[in-house]
Structure 1
């Protein structure tokens, strides 16, 4: 019988094109059968601003996992949740940890059975997922032209849908939307105004009304975190659908009970793994709601996990967000996840597990010692910029 015999965690720091360096943890689960499962604890470079001791974490996880059958995914996830509980916060580090282990378990089991993770999850409903490219928040009017140039470059690469982080400088947001409309017309679409919980619902409502003369598909996170009534209030006052991340079972329950949102933003990183994300998507389906795939902008391992998950979802009806591998200057795999004409493609079913292979030359290039914090500001952490102008 296959058993987990060891675990290794490797920290990498990879710059985005903005200059901001994101720290990720590569997970390897070793077995007595010689098969290794890989996963990714993505984006530890975000609030809350505390660091995990990587050596201590590895020892804790070894004590939980060594000797276990990797196919006991539900049992292992329960133990992970007991040790790294939900905290009603979507950048909670415990969710990142659970996500990395759960992905590695799925990769390991898929490899053992010689099937892809999508098949392990129940089979493919679609082979590609429409995605959008993020436009980061305007703080100054001078950034409008910079972001227009991002649209031009990414449009030339096949991305024709964009997500605008909005609400900090509304004059700049409006200038950007107007310029996109004037230059591209219907060839470029704006998926959403994403307020990222930085404003209360009344402030967001004013901005949505002001910008509603432009064409965008939805409004995301337009209330402070866990303000379920606020989400309902703005939802009943605008014509656009409301989307919100799911970061815990309790939080999703509260949103369902209040009918707070139209679209559930599901991402393994925020809710703690493929297993938990699949449950959240199923809960949305039960109450007649659609989902989209969210992101913290993962590398190719984490993005492959989301692609496999998304390929199985019947209620994935909206443009999704995972374009992380396109935002970084490098990666850690030999076969980077593929984007073609604005679609994220699920790895070929002939590739077992997640369908990506570690590149140790790249890992050594980006390897760092730990997850300690440097001298960064809250604005940098929110907007993923190297410096604040």
Structure 2
């Protein structure tokens, strides 16, 4: 089986908040008639530049066409040479490699008639506990809006939430107080996510202020790549500390500095299922736990994370992939399913990732390119609507 063609399709999917995220659907054809699909998820992130989709397709074809999709390690090595790690959280080269790697896994598993989970080692679990994100408060009037989100999501089975914090601590505190008073033990706050907005000393001060409320961990409480700062924070707090993995050099430094307790591992940020499995294995060797992170993918990208998570022995904490619940639509006929706050790993009825593209929906949201328009930096950071200031 050889790769015979590749297609990239850009779609612009609005979130429930009104913010529009652009994704790239990947299709890799083989000469036996099978097609593997993947997702380059959520290009609507900093840094504030776009990519040429036609040029990207030409480059990727030069790497992939004529190759065996089973040569995943070799192809990932070539992809890494063309789209290298840069030690930046939202590095778009990682997004590109992730979409290709997922499609390769889908294609190979389909050819064998098995699921991706079986292809990468087998399932340890059939469902993954996940949390719903509460986006960062900028103004006090957003507190009631976010409490309404908790109320509505709790009614649909989501009882665990991740709170982005650090921009308006008065509002963060008011929200946590509202959760405690209204919901009590029915709702769990998984984490305070600082998203690298504050230096470690400021994050520590904010954590102490909010520690009167219950939460399980703290995420990204230092500026990017401040490994010593993360270590100092960790040594001065009682909470487990989590950080995303966006390069192997960065992960190595966090292990060396003993900076964290939990590695937040997501294929989108490290460059695919192949790289994510390596990162999870490194965490296991270092005696660290992990959770599956997210940039809020659609169902194809979320399915890839579900298959990955189902196979990990050190997935010990609540994970983040609830992306399909945040968008007004999807691009598959059979979106991933959630049940009582768990992401269900796609079944074995359909091999590969277990996803089937819906071209009526794809054509509805299809756009020509990844260009930005007039989206502001604040909108990119806080995932807010262009009409909300």
Query: What CA distance in whole angstroms lies between the structure 2 residues aligned with 1:350 and 1:27?
Result: 22
Which aligned runs of 4 or more in structure 1 are off by greater than 2 angstroms?
none
Partner of 1:216, secondary structure, is: coil
**2:134 maps to which residue?**
135
Query: What CA distance in whole angstroms lies between the structure 2 residues aligned with 1:379 and 1:187?
Result: 33
Partner of 2:233, secondary structure, is: helix
Query: What CA distance in whole angstroms lies between the structure 1 residues aligned with 2:376 and 2:122?
Result: 43
Deviations 1:272-306 (A, max 9, x none): 00000000000000111000000000000000000
Query: What CA distance in whole angstroms lies between the structure 2 residues aligned with 1:184 and 1:349?
Result: 37
**2:47 maps to which residue?**
48
Deviations 1:127-165 (A, max 9, x none): 000000000000001100000000000000000000000
**1:358 maps to which residue?**
357
Question: Contact 1:132/1:161 (CA < 8 Å) preserved in 2?
Answer: yes
**1:321 maps to which residue?**
320
Considering only aligned residues, what root-mean-square deviation do their CA atoms show, in Å? Answer: 0.5
Partner of 2:175, secondary structure, is: helix
Deviations 1:29-84 (A, max 9, x none): 01110000000000011001111100000011001100000000000000000110
1:210-225 paired onto structure 2 within 5 Å: 210-225=209-224
Query: What CA distance in whole angstroms lies between the structure 1 residues aligned with 2:340 and 2:122?
Result: 24
Mark the runs of 5 or more structure 1 residues left unpaired by the alignment.
Answer: none
**1:68 maps to which residue?**
67
Query: What CA distance in whole angstroms lies between the structure 2 residues aligned with 1:93 and 1:86?
Result: 9
**1:125 maps to which residue?**
124
Partner of 2:362, secondary structure, is: helix
Deviations 1:149-196 (A, max 9, x none): 000000000000000000100000000000000000000000000000
Question: Contact 1:245/1:264 (CA < 8 Å) preserved in 2?
Answer: yes
The count of residues paired between Structure 1 and Structure 2 equals: 388
**1:159 maps to which residue?**
158
Query: What CA distance in whole angstroms lies between the structure 2 residues aligned with 1:31 and 1:238?
Result: 52
> Shift of residue 383 of structure 1?
1.0
Query: What CA distance in whole angstroms lies between the structure 2 residues aligned with 1:54 and 1:169?
Result: 38
Partner of 2:223, secondary structure, is: coil
Question: Contact 1:115/1:350 (CA < 8 Å) preserved in 2?
Answer: no
Mark the runs of 5 or more structure 2 residues left unpaired by the alignment.
Answer: none
**1:280 maps to which residue?**
279
**2:168 maps to which residue?**
169
TM-score (norm 1): 0.99
TM-score (norm 2): 0.99
Deviations 1:218-245 (A, max 9, x none): 0000000000000000000010000000
Query: What CA distance in whole angstroms lies between the structure 2 residues aligned with 1:273 and 1:216?
Result: 30
